[in-house]
Amino acid sequence: MKYFDKKLRLFIAAALCLTIMAGCSNSNKPANDTSSNTQANNETSSTPDESKSEDNKTADNNEAKGNENALLKDIKTLAEEGKIINSNFADKSSNISDVEGKLGKADKSEWVSDAKGNYSTYSKDNVVFGSNKGGRIFEIRSFDSRLNNISLSMVEKYFGTPAHNVTANGEKIIGYTAGADFKMLFVFKAPTNSNDDPKLDHYSVLYPKGTVNSMASDPGREW
């Protein structure tokens, strides 16, 4: 009987030890699980921020592209009236005296033989007017700062293959017709290996018939 009691006590002691060890083991698990869950939550929480950042970039790019296309549309629409985006004067219907009456004397005025006329520069207004000997305006050049956001590829994508395409003197000039009377000329720095898609420097709206000098048998400019 004593032997049996002794054996029973040993069995109970062993059972208690196993119970205590199991309890200690279980008490450690929640801490590890909590740590794992926290790490997982941190990783998950960073993902939306990154996605939001990419979404913002895409939205900004789309907005910029929309602004540039809207500007190109304005350029085309106004060119069909003989106008540029930053002046109310028009080729064909305006005279340089009209310009001087509103804007005053030009900062600089010079005769350019190759261009068939006198060119008057108004730096503050970012515009240059080309006029013939009778004073009629036949070309208006725009140097509006918004043009610097437009690249060569954007112009070609919007207007298509240019009817006029010349690279000379460090410049690339492409041209398109604008209605029956006018033409558009876009002037870029010539593309290079380091910059194959230059930004627009300036553009002009040309009225070719205004460069004709029948008295001198001069057919005038085509572009």
Number of domains in the chain: 1
CA dist 40 → 28, 32, 35, 48, 54 (Å): 19, 12, 9, 14, 22
Place of tokens 């060569």: 152
Range of the domain at 27: 1-223
> How do the pLDDT tens digits run along the chain, 223 residues long?
544 455 555 555 555 555 555 554 554 444 445 445 555 454 445 566 666 666 665 655 666 678 999 999 999 999 999 999 999 999 999 999 999 999 999 999 999 999 999 999 999 999 999 999 999 999 999 999 999 999 999 999 999 999 999 999 999 999 999 999 999 999 999 999 999 999 999 999 999 999 999 898 999 999 9
DSSP string, 134-147: T-BEEEEEE--GGG
